[in-house]
């Protein structure tokens, strides 16, 4: 870079980055605590479940025992379910409680029984002292329809979850009680979606 204005730009940039780094280092000094987090992924956008599964992948990579309880997508053959069951059954426990989205089963009693069964499994996994990370995939849908009692879930997460265990709860329409109790809440918003243009759900992207 022989142009002096370029050299100047570079110098200014490096100075700015030095300041950002110093501010960031100061900020990170206070970030010394570790705790098991209650995480919520909600909103109408994509990425709620897939980012939960991305964290499961991280846990497997780090050798951290983890578990997935799928509440709603029971009758879909998803890539992640296949993968976890066929290739990572030692590293990640995988459970399915539901039988499909509620408009597929059209049987409220059966849905309630499936959701309650999922919640029993979830509690057992979270209580397990070996466990480091539990993903409760699409549990928000079961909570929204009151198939599982929100107060019981919040009470369990706040008072019975082991201190260092992470729990991630996904699904649209997270209840306010859950958002209040959570440490980390991300809302996935839909800016643009190809369904609007007639594109169907595709392998590798949606499942």
Of residues 10-49, those binding a copy of itself (CB under 8 A) = 10, 13-14, 17-18, 20-21, 24, 28, 30-35, 37, 39-41, 43, 45-49
The residues in 139-198 that bind a copy of itself, with binding defined as CB under 8 A, are 166, 179, 182-195, 197-198
Q: How far apart are CA 22 and CA 150, in angstroms?
A: 43
Out of 8, 9, 75, 158, the residue judged to bind a copy of itself by CB under 8 A: 9
Question: Is 133 a binder of a copy of itself (CB under 8 A)?
Answer: yes
204 binds a copy of itself (CB under 8 A): yes
Binding of a copy of itself at residue 80 (CB under 8 A)? yes
- With a CB cutoff of 8 Å and minimum separation 6, the contacts of 187 are 42, 43, 45
- 55-74 residues in contact with a copy of itself (CB under 8 A) are 55, 57-62, 64, 66
Tell me how far apart the alpha carbons of residues 61 and 82 are, in angstroms, rounded to a whole number. 18
Contacts with a copy of itself by CB under 8 A: the residue count is 82
Beta-carbon contacts of 48 under 8 Å, excluding residues fewer than 6 positions away, are 41, 42, 170, 171, 172, 188
Residue 55 parent element (H or E): helix 48-62
Binders of a copy of itself among residues 89 to 118 (CB under 8 A) are: 102-109
Helix (H, G, I), strand (E, B) or coil at 68: strand
């Amino acid at each position: 870079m022989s142009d002096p204005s370029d050299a100047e730009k570079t110098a200014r940039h490096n100075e700015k980055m030095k300041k950002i780094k110093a501010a960031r280092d100061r900020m990170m000094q206070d970030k010394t605590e570790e705790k098991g987090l209650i995480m919520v992924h909600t909103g109408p956008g994509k990425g709620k479940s897939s980012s939960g599964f991305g964290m499961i992948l991280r846990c497997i990579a780090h050798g951290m025992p983890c578990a997935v309880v799928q509440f709603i997508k029971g009758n879909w053959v998803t890539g992640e379910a296949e993968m976890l069951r066929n290739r990572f059954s030692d590293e990640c426990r995988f459970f399915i409680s539901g039988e499909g989205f509620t408009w597929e089963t059209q049987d409220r009693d059966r849905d309630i029984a499936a959701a309650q069964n999922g919640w029993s499994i979830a509690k057992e996994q979270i209580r397990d002292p070996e466990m480091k990370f539990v993903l409760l995939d699409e549990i928000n849908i079961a909570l929204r329809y009151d198939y599982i009692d929100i107060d019981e879930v919040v009470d369990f997460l706040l008072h019975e979850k082991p201190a260092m265990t992470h729990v991630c709860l996904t699904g649209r329409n997270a209840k306010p009680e859950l958002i209040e109790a959570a440490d980390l809440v991300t809302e996935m918003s839909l800016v643009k979606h190809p369904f609007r243009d007639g594109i169907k759900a595709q392998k590798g992207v949606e499942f």
